Copies of this chain bind each other. A is one copy, B any other.
Amino acid sequence: MDLPVDKKKISIVCFSGDFDKIVAAFTIATGAAATNREVTMFFTFWGLNALKRNKGRAATGKSIMAKAFNFLMGGLNNLPLSRLNFGGISPKLMTGMMKKHNVATLPELVEAAHLLGVRIVACEMAMHILEIEKSEMIEEVKDVAGVATFLNESENSHIIFI
């Protein structure tokens, strides 16, 4: 029953779809992977927006309700800042500040995570509720799984909920 946590394993639940929190999640993920840690990112609810193939707004889904939510939530290019969003201007300003200081921007962080072998998992239940199909997500999403699978695979990992 008792197993030690493997200091090299990190599991991040990416629940939030806020620009700043997704940046934080990918910064931890890439920093961990670059230092030889085994990293899994489990995207659920708002976090799924960071995985959509279509990075702008699109009314995907079958029901009117799902179409409305998916349109309003948008994709990687529409993630709002968690505060002081100013109608979506702030993430763009923030990206400018990141570039100015030679810090990896969000698309660069996402690409780095893929290159470094971070495992990207999408939450089955949230996809189901929001009517998001696997085909609508970036090809780096290899697995679609439920919470029980995630917990099983994270038994010896640090679990971080963002």
A residues near B, CB below 8 A? 1-8, 10, 13, 15, 17, 20-21, 24, 27-28, 31-32, 34-35, 37, 44-46, 63, 65-66, 69, 72-73, 80, 82-84, 93-94, 96-98, 100-101, 103, 125, 128-130, 146-148, 151-152, 154-156, 158-162
Contact = CB atoms under 8 A, between A and B. Distances in A.
Given A32-B151, A84-B69, A125 B160 contact: no
A148 B97 contact: no
Given A3-B7, A65-B93, A159-B160, 12 more contacts: A1-B6, A2-B7, A2-B156, A4-B5, A5-B5, A15-B24, A27-B125, A31-B148, A31-B151, A32-B148, A37-B151, A69-B84
A158 B161 contact: no
Contact of A35 (B21, B148, B159, B162): B148
A15 to B, nearest CB: 6
A72 B84 contact: yes
A133 to B, nearest CB: 13
Contacts of A146: 31
Contact of A28 (B80, B103, B128, B147): B147
Given A45-B24, A161-B160, A2 B4 contact: yes
A103 B83 contact: no
B103 A155 contact: no
B65 A73 contact: no
B97 A130 contact: yes
Contact of A96 (B2, B44, B65, B72): B65
